[in-house]
Amino acid sequence: MRTLLIITLCLYFNTLPAQAGQLDNLETEATKSSSKSKSKSSSSSSSSSSDDSNSSLSDELGYEITTGIAEVMVGAIVAVGGMSNERYMRSQPEEEETLYREIGDPILPMLRISAHWLDSGNDVSAQLNRIEAGYSFFGISYSQNTLKEDGDQLKLSNTLIHYRMTFANDFSWDLAYGRGKMNGNQEHDGSVFAMPMRYRFNPDWHFEYYPVWSSYKGGSLAEHQFSFNYHYKYIGATLGYKTWSAGDTSIDGLFTGLYLSF
Which domain CATH number covers 227?
A: 2.40.160.40
> CA 143, 261, 200: angle at the middle one, nearest 5?
100
Phi-psi region of 247 (alpha: psi -120 to 50; beta: other; left: phi over 0): left
Q: What is the pLDDT of residues 200-258, one digit of tens each?
A: 999 999 999 999 999 998 889 999 999 999 999 999 999 999 999 999 999 999 999 99
Distance CA 36, CA 120 (A): 33
Report yes or no on 103 lying in a domain: no
Q: Which of 148, 125, 132 is nearest to 255 (CA)?
A: 125
User: What's the confidence (pLDDT) of residue 52?
Assistant: 57
Contacts of 74 by beta carbon, 8 Å cutoff, 6+ apart = none
Round to whole Å and give the CA distance between 116 and 18.
32
* 251 located within any domain: yes
The candidate with the shortest Cα–Cα distance to 124, out of 176, 184, 180, 70, is 184
In Å, how far are 124, 144, 253 from 119, measured between CA atoms?
6, 16, 6
The answer to whether residue 47 sits within a structural domain is no
Nearest-10 Cα torsion for 45, 48, 54, 55: 10
Task: Report yes or no on 218 lying in a domain.
Answer: yes
Does residue 25 form part of some domain?
no
7 is a domain residue: no
Q: Does 68 map to a domain?
A: no
For residues 189 and 159, the answer to whether their CB atoms sit within 8 Å is: no
Q: Phi-psi region for residue 150, left (φ > 0), alpha (ψ -120 to 50) or beta? A: left
pLDDT of residue 245: 96
Go through the chain and tell me how many residues it has: 262
Q: Considering the domain boundaries, does residue 124 fall inside one? A: yes
**Low-confidence winner among 47-51, 102-106, 149-153 (lowest mean pLDDT):** 47-51
Q: Domain tally for the chain?
A: 1
- The burial of 30, by beta-carbon neighbours within 10 Å (0-12 exposed, 13-18 middle, 19 or more buried), is given as buried
Beta bridge pairs of residue 176: 162, 194
Instruction: Report pLDDT digits (tens) over 107-132.
Output: 999 999 999 999 987 789 999 999 99
User: What is the span of the domain harbouring residue 165?
Assistant: 111-261
